[in-house]
Amino acid sequence: MTRNQKKHVLIQVLRHCCQLLVLAVMVGTVYLSLYAHYHAARALEDEQFTRGFQGKVLLAIDDVIAPMDNPQPLLDSFKGTLWSLRFAGFDLTDPLAAAEVIAGSKTFYAPLLISIVLPVLLALVLGRVYCSWMCPAGLLFELSDKIRRVLPFAEIKPGQVKFSHGNKYVFLATGLAFTAVVGLPVLGHIYPPAVMSRLAHGLIYGTAIAGTITILVVMMAFEIAVSPRWWCRTMCPGGALFGLLGWIRPVRIRLDAKRCTGCRDCEVVCPMGLDPVKQSYGIECDNCALCLKSCGEDALIYAIGLPGRKRAYIRQRPAPRVSLLHKVGDSIRKRRRPIASITAVIVLLAANATAYAHHILGLPHYSYKENYPQVPTLEYPASTGPYDIVMTSYPGVPTPGEAANVAFYIRNRETDVPFGSPVTVRVLQTATFGRNKTILHETRIEPLDKTHKLSVTFPEDGEFIVELTVDVEGQPEVIPFLMVAGQPTATTSILAAIGGGLVVFIITIRAIKIKARRRRLIGQSANEQLAGRAPVTA
């Protein structure tokens, strides 16, 4: 290994460290903000708020911060997500967020423009480095690229559909135009770093995360199955914006044409799907320096220079020497699957719909986890016929075995008169498989103080349906309310475990089959050889 190659390996280590650092900032900022709330509410003094992993993290932060005289300025200087971040007292906003806000509101807000100065300067000097050196989603998609490389070992050929790199500029332009016309910001909803950052925030704060996981999983699945690095290469509006900003960047990767042997190793490793020999100085290149590492001849170098200089040193391209890596790439490329892309798009739309449907009723149950500094209460609104109904429960998440007070307030929308007749309520426990179990048989409840009150004891952790039957103009109307007692194992996690097990099982079976077939083939050829060599007898 030459000295230069050692340097290139070091660059890659640095790059991954930088990515992980951004990831740590993304998660750490949320924890610090949560800590700030707990600190203000003195919640850390209470044992029930410091249980579990999250409690340990908060206590670890407390060990560092509590001895300080005045920690408030420090706590105030770390807020937000990667979409817009307050980092060490600096306001940093993603230029795409700013573009979207300006397009949506058609106004310029000075603090917003100031907060994008640093990221824009970075992009002007270094180009799309945000994509390769910082973006946490880039890390995720690099992982999916790794998975792609493992798949051929299970004799699964991942798709190699190619899309134009120009798509992302079209997407950026149409997305901003859409926002400008409709007044609804859209790009931020699927921009992976923003989605990831919101997901981290939602998971740590225990608020709704509907859709975010779906978007990331669908993108990763699409990249694994259909098109390598599809999002970063051809679709990312943020990448497009940073690329455009980096048009005149002085730091570029350049080629020393005298050294290049034309082996095309750099083309195979380029995560952006570029040909570094020809295109690395363009706006598509994100200066990740992987091509530098791949080049055995040190022909590719980071160079600082003024933009606009003709690249005279690219002379004729030598005849390509086909490497082993490139052969593998070629063999994968031979099969193309246009149908897969269409399927993936349908899945993207459908999955989003289901993720949304999960959160129809009020706050999702994980918003009511017990380590809030406040007493959780539950409140679900509904309406039927002329009546508005509010169901309340105290506590919001009942403890199994302890009575919970459930109250229904039914009132006529037009006359403002509370419902004065009795109602019927029954409670069911939802079952993932089979029929729901009845916890409380139909009970008639007389109105008391203008509300209908009921004390329910849930027998165990789980999801329950409190079914209210109201008499609306002679017709019984049934209204179900979802309630969660304790901390049930989510149905989705059970299904995920089953699905994961299934995938492992299929891969194992497949691997065994492949192995067996290879053995058979080897045996056959050995037999043939034996047969060929065997002396003819009789």
Partner 1 sequence: MDRRTFIKDSVITGAALAGAAASAGFFERARPTTEAVAGTVRDVPLRPPGALVEEAYVQRCTRCMRCIDACPNQALLPLDATFGKQLEGTPAMKPRRQACMLCAKIDGDFLKCGEACPTGAIVKIRKDEATVLSEVRIGIARIDHELCYSYNNWSCGACIRACPFEGKAMTAGMWERPEVHEEFCIGCGLCERACIRYPQAIRVVAGKVSAEIGGRE
Query: Which residues in 467-496 contact partner 1 (CB under 8 A)?
Result: none
Taking the least distance from each CB to partner 1, the nearer of 107 and 316 is: 107
Q: How far is the CB of 407 from partner 1 (least distance, A)?
A: 6
Taking the least distance from each CB to partner 1, the nearer of 127 and 387 is: 387
Binds partner 1 (CB under 8 A): choice among 52, 88, 149, 174: 174
Give Cβ neighbours of residue 131 (< 8 Å, ≥ 6 apart).
Answer: 138, 232, 236, 238, 239, 242, 286, 288
Q: How far is the CB of 208 from partner 1 (least distance, A)?
A: 4
Interface with partner 1 in residues 62-121 (CB under 8 A)? 72, 76, 79-81, 83-86, 91, 93, 97-98, 100-101, 104-105, 107, 109, 111-112, 115
| DSSP codes joined into one string, 285-306 | -----HHHHH-TT--EEEEE--
Q: How far is the CB of 168 from partner 1 (least distance, A)?
A: 9
Q: How far is the CB of 223 from partner 1 (least distance, A)?
A: 13
Cis-peptide, bond into residue 400, ω within 30° of zero: no
Distances 57 to 15, 60, 61, 403 between C-alpha atoms, Å = 27, 5, 6, 33
Q: CA torsion, points 153, 156, 157, 161, in degrees to nearest 10?
A: -130
Taking the least distance from each CB to partner 1, the nearer of 295 and 382 is: 382
Site string for partner 1, 238-277 (x = CB under 8 A): ----------------------------------------
Taking the least distance from each CB to partner 1, the nearer of 323 and 343 is: 343
Strand partners, 87: 78, 90
Q: How far is the CB of 281 from partner 1 (least distance, A)?
A: 23
Site string for partner 1, 385-404 (x = CB under 8 A): ---x-x-x-x----------
Taking the least distance from each CB to partner 1, the nearer of 359 and 426 is: 359
Does the footprint of partner 1 cover residue 420 (CB under 8 A)? no
Site string for partner 1, 339-378 (x = CB under 8 A): --xx--x--xx--xx--x--xx-xxx--x----xxx-xx-
Q: First and final CA of the chain: distance in angstroms? A: 62
Q: How far is the CB of 202 from partner 1 (least distance, A)?
A: 7
Q: How far is it between the farthest Cα atoms of the chain?
A: 110
Taking the least distance from each CB to partner 1, the nearer of 326 and 453 is: 453
Q: How far is the CB of 241 from partner 1 (least distance, A)?
A: 15
Q: How far is the CB of 165 from partner 1 (least distance, A)?
A: 10
Interface with partner 1 in residues 421-450 (CB under 8 A)? 449-450
Q: Kindly tell me the sign of the dihedral angle through the C-alpha atoms of 100, 104, 106, 107.
A: negative
- State the alpha helices, DSSP H only, in 307-463: 324-333, 338-357
Give Cβ neighbours of residue 123 (< 8 Å, ≥ 6 apart).
Answer: 95, 129, 130, 241, 242, 245, 246, 249
Taking the least distance from each CB to partner 1, the nearer of 40 and 150 is: 40
Give the other-Cβ count within 10 Å of 32's Cβ: 20
Interface with partner 1 in residues 503-532 (CB under 8 A)? none
Does the footprint of partner 1 cover residue 413 (CB under 8 A)? yes
Strand partners, 407: 392, 453
Binds partner 1 (CB under 8 A): choice among 52, 152, 166, 305: 166
Binds partner 1 (CB under 8 A): choice among 157, 326, 369, 411: 411
Sheet arrangement for strand 90-93: 78-81, 84-87, 90-93
Distances 238 to 111, 214, 244, 268, 412 between C-alpha atoms, Å = 21, 20, 10, 24, 50
Q: How far is the CB of 431 from partner 1 (least distance, A)?
A: 25
- The first and second tokens of residue 333, run together, are 């490329």
Interface with partner 1 in residues 138-157 (CB under 8 A)? none
Interface with partner 1 in residues 176-215 (CB under 8 A)? 178, 182-190, 194, 198, 201-202, 205, 207-208, 210-211, 215
Taking the least distance from each CB to partner 1, the nearer of 90 and 505 is: 90
Interface with partner 1 in residues 24-53 (CB under 8 A)? 29-30, 33, 36-37, 40-41
Q: Which helix (H) or strand (E) holds 405?
A: strand 403-412
Angle subtended by helix axes 167-182 and 237-245, to nearest 10:
110
Q: How far is the CB of 59 from partner 1 (least distance, A)?
A: 18
Residue with tokens 């063999």: 331
| DSSP codes joined into one string, 56-86 | HHHHHHHHHHTTSS--HHHHHTEEEETTEEE
Contact 161, 47 (CB under 8 A): no
Taking the least distance from each CB to partner 1, the nearer of 352 and 399 is: 352
